[in-house]
Chain A
Amino acid sequence: MVQPHVQVFNPIKMTKHILSTFVLFVIWQGTYGQVSAPYLSMSLEAKDNKARWQPMHKMPAGDFILEWLKSGDILVSYNRNEAPTKYLKETNFSSKELQKLDKKISGFSLKGIYLDPEQPPEFYYVIYFNPKMKNSILLELHALLGNVVSATYYSDKKINPFQNRIYSTLK
């Protein structure tokens, strides 16, 4: 049976509600920041068909900047001379496709899947993010989901938590 909805105006409840909404809004706003990383490490192919991480080192021409947009899309700039590119958030994946991705790695969780409009359409950027490390990000480029083409870790610290994540070359 459906209960009739009765709303009684209560000024104290109302004030509490407005206050908590405001606090939540401020917290929510805070999560829309940017990643600013002066260090990077790329996972590069080695002779044994497995990839190895480079030591963390300084970005060659200015910080890597990633901005979280409210629309869900992101703005990415790889160096100071480059205008940011908008990567579009993609959500249209079947659960079977999504199973090919790790949801959590070394405290980082899957943040989203993005398309670079300047790249071929089957290439997706898969991003892992840890809210406790706001200036760190793992950026994987997949050819269709699950086939990693490249991986780069950007951070403001010279430690790479993905050091033991070894990507194998696809044949």
Chain B
Amino acid sequence: MSHLDPTVSGTVTAYLSGPAVGEIERPAQPYANVSATSSEIRGNAAGDILEKRTIIRTTDGKTLVKGGLKSELYEAGTEISLGISVEWARNSISLYRFDLTFNIDYWQNNNPADPRTRLNGTATCTGLQSN
């Protein structure tokens, strides 16, 4: 798809939402490209996000997830609430990556109101987790 014109490129707002999402870093700018001819639209989009978290296990068996790489702050033995202290803490990094191509063909069925759409995409999450 080297012939595409980059028509959309810029800041993309939150991909990940919800409580306790870790600190997020984008190793490269996400992008979306679209090109159009009289009969079809083609495009692709891709991006990746690194999420940095600290996984903490406390002496009552609970697992806590904190944003950022902070395992040094939570050394084993650090008291975090009444009678409860840190048993174990590790930094954890997850990589979310997506890659999508699409093609919308208006004349496939000789009917512009009935375009044929093809989507091809992958999304992966890889990470370093421990137990």
Enumerate chain A interface residues (CB-CB to B < 8 A).
Answer: 40, 42-45, 51, 59-61, 64, 78-79, 81-82, 117-123, 139, 141, 143-144, 147-152, 154, 167, 169-171
Nearest-Cβ distance from residue B80 to partner chain A, whole angstroms: 11
Task: Tell me if B60 and A59 are in contact (CB < 8 A).
Answer: yes
C-alpha spacing A145/B81, complex, angstroms: 30
**Closest residue of chain B to A139, judged by CB?**
B61
Residues of B within 8 A of A64 (CB): 60-61
**Closest residue of chain A to B19, judged by CB?**
A118
Question: What are the 9 A-B residue pairs with the smallest beta carbon separation, nearest first?
Answer: A61-B83, A152-B61, A78-B60, A150-B63, A78-B62, A169-B130, A60-B59, A79-B60, A121-B18
Residues of B within 8 A of A79 (CB): 60, 83-84
Task: Tell me if B87 and A44 are in contact (CB < 8 A).
Answer: yes
Is B128 part of the contact surface with A, judged by Cβ < 8 Å? yes
Q: Mark B31-51, 1 if CB is under 8 A from A, else 0.
A: 000000000000000000000
Task: Tell me if B90 and A40 are in contact (CB < 8 A).
Answer: no
C-alpha spacing A171/B93, complex, angstroms: 11
Partner of B131, one of A60, A122, A151: A151
C-alpha spacing A30/B18, complex, angstroms: 36
Give the A-B pair count, Cβ closer than 8 A. 86
C-alpha spacing A120/B22, complex, angstroms: 8
Residues of B within 8 A of A143 (CB): 94, 127, 129
C-alpha spacing A169/B130, complex, angstroms: 5
Knowing A45-B130, A79-B84, A118-B20 are in contact, say whether A61-B60 is a contact too (CB < 8 A): yes
Residues of B within 8 A of A141 (CB): 63
**Closest residue of chain B to A171, judged by CB?**
B128
**What 19 additional pairs, Cβ within 8 angstroms, besides A44-B57, A61-B60, A141-B63?**
A42-B87, A44-B87, A60-B84, A79-B83, A81-B81, A81-B83, A81-B84, A118-B19, A119-B20, A120-B22, A120-B53, A120-B65, A122-B125, A143-B127, A147-B129, A150-B57, A150-B131, A151-B131, A154-B61
Q: Mark B86-123, 1 if CB is under 8 A from A, else 0.
A: 01101000100000000000000000000000000000
**Closest residue of chain A to B85, judged by CB?**
A60
Nearest-Cβ distance from residue B51 to partner chain A, whole angstroms: 8
C-alpha spacing A55/B26, complex, angstroms: 42
**Closest residue of chain A to B130, judged by CB?**
A169
Residue among B59, B84, B90, B130 facing the most chain A CB atoms (10 A cut-off): B130
C-alpha spacing A11/B63, complex, angstroms: 57
Knowing A118-B20, A120-B22 are in contact, say whether A148-B131 is a contact too (CB < 8 A): yes
Nearest-Cβ distance from residue B66 to partner chain A, whole angstroms: 11
Nearest-Cβ distance from residue B28 to partner chain A, whole angstroms: 22
**Closest residue of chain A to B18, judged by CB?**
A121
Partner of B129, one of A59, A139, A149, A152: A149
